Amino acid sequence: MLALSRKKDESIMLGNDIEITVLEIRGDQVKIGVKAPKNVAIFRKEIYDQIEAENKKAAEQNVDRKTIENLFNI
């Protein structure tokens, strides 16, 4: 992991098109802004972990042919 120090209004770049800026520092909280292309998904880590868990759970489920036919009105 790379650790960087930044002050308010300072930024870091990820690649050529993602900019992360420190917007505000208040006590033990830091507010950041992220500029990225619209095709880049941005999630808080805890939300990303929930999505990953749900995707894994869905991929492990066995779905029979009848369920798929009903889903797609076949």
Cβ proximity of 71 and 59 under 8 Å: no
User: How many C-beta atoms lie closer than 10 Å to residue 60's C-beta?
Assistant: 7
Which residue is listed with tokens 């900019």? Answer: 19
Interval 31-66: pLDDT, tens: 999 999 999 999 999 999 999 999 998 888 877 888
Sequence spans of domains, the chain? 11-71
Interval 4-37: pLDDT, tens: 999 999 999 999 999 999 999 999 999 999 999 9
* Cβ partners under 8 Å of residue 24, min gap 6: 8, 30, 31
